[in-house]
Amino acid sequence: MTTALQSELANLNRDELVTKCQALQERIVKQGKTLPGQPQYFMTPDGYILWQERTVSLRIGGGLTCIPGVGTVIDALGWDRLNEVLRVHVYLNPNAQMIGSPARAVRVSGAAVGCVGGVPQVHTLSLTWAFYDMFLTELIQKVKKNRVCGAMGIKGERPKGFDGKPLNFFEIEGGAGVWVDVSHDDIITTLKTLQERRSKPDRAAYTFLRRNLIRSFSGGISQKVPGDSADIPVRGWYYPISKDRLEKIAIAAMRGTQADKEVELKTCPDEKMADANEGAALETELVDETTGEPVERAGAAPMHTEPAPPAAAAASSAALPAPPSAQTAQDADDGQREMLIDTLAVMFKDLSRDDKVALKQRFPKPAASMTLDELNAVHRHMSDTLAQRAQRAIFS
């Protein structure tokens, strides 16, 4: 895709994008009519792009979380749902860095490859999960809400009214802090939470990091929503790119290097999560309370990488030659196959049980082993099936 086309697509408003896509669509021969909400493919003289627009419905407990004092927000599971349209590929560096002794925070990093307005980009982000700061905030909230738990004060001056109580002091700043009764049930619970966070701090940190990487491609979708449900229109731009190329781009980006001149590198400002309420709300998303099992994340593309090198090593790695921008025909086919398989997975969910049985009888091979022509045949069959069902619904 040329720089001129990238700039043009990035600067178009919604109506202009629709007009542009309609003009591009006329250049290819389409078999059947694509249903609303299904992906649209366009071949241009400068390359192949795809976009999809769909409304995603979220609710409390199903993509939305209510945070006291903040309101209702899209949680990590909700961003995973939105990512079914955005199709951002997230890569997490497995090397978490503990901060402090004993540990007071954990720092994690990652990269995400996606598309903004048809322009492919890779975003990198480092995030600090400050679980000890959350702990101090929770202690302050406890003593404000229930004065028998403890009191605010200064180091060395035990507060009055707690005779015979096992008090412990936790310093916040400059000798000021909070005295708490470590025998009180609320304080014991808070101490247990700190221990759990300290034993597996990267778990919540990676969830929050993944959420914010996806958000960086969302095109202005607000994190906060009114009420306890929301229908959110999402437009996702796809760029045909092979898995190997994605991984090379992400690994280089986490080293601070742009390995592919066609994919723009953007470094997001470092973030710190120290809000106790939001931290607690995020942690509730990690486990299904009814089954006790971890919640499955949608659209993950895990990758193992080595830690980011120090500045000197990063400078030397930046000098390495970037891979050639021109892709082979096989790479282009692989990219198309991956995008088409993703599309078929979305369409498959909309089929009835009988339609799915008929599809498997006609195309028994797994999608991963099909050729590009076979996948296109499956796509035409599913499009026809969904179109016929829509027509029956209209005239019934």
| CA 34/CA 380 separation, integer angstroms | 9
Does residue 43 carry a pLDDT above 80?
Answer: no
User: Token pair of 264, please?
Assistant: 């723009």
pLDDT of residue 32: 37
Torsion of CA 258, 248, 337, 13, to 10 degrees: -20
pLDDT of residue 39: 54
Beta strand 47-60 pairing with 40-44: antiparallel
pLDDT in tens, 330-384: 444 555 566 567 667 656 766 888 888 888 888 988 887 888 888 878 877 887 7
Phi-psi region of 63 (alpha: psi -120 to 50; beta: other; left: phi over 0): left
CA distances from 151 to 132, 140, 174, 355, 375 (A): 19, 8, 17, 65, 66
pLDDT of residue 176: 93
pTM of structure: 0.60
pLDDT of residue 202: 78
Mean pLDDT of the chain: 75
**Average pLDDT in the 124-153 region?**
91
| CA 95/CA 59 separation, integer angstroms | 34
Q: How many residues does the chain have?
A: 396
pLDDT of residue 294: 42
pLDDT of residue 47: 57
First to last CA, the chain: 45
25: pLDDT confidence band, cut at 50, 70 and 90? low
pLDDT in tens, 164-189: 889 999 998 889 999 999 999 999 98
pLDDT in tens, 307-332: 333 333 333 333 333 333 334 344 44
| b/e code 119-130 from CB counts within 10 Å (16+ = b) | bbbbbbbbbbbb
DSSP string over 183-202: TSHHHHHHHHHHHHHHHSHH
What's the one-letter identity of residue 141?
Q
Give the CB-side neighbour count of residue 343, counting CA atoms within 13 A. Answer: 29
Which of 344, 356, 342, 345 shows the shortest CA–CA distance to 389? 356
58: pLDDT confidence band, cut at 50, 70 and 90? very high
Is the CB of residue 286 less than 8 Å from the CB of residue 280?
A: no
| Packed helices 201-215 and 185-199: angle between N→C axes, nearest 10 degrees | 70
**How buried is residue 190: exposed, middle or buried, by Cβ count under 10 Å (0-12/13-18/19+)?**
buried
pLDDT in tens, 284-302: 544 443 444 444 433 333 3
Residues above pLDDT 70, as percent of the chain: 67
CA distances from 80 to 86, 280, 321 (A): 9, 19, 35
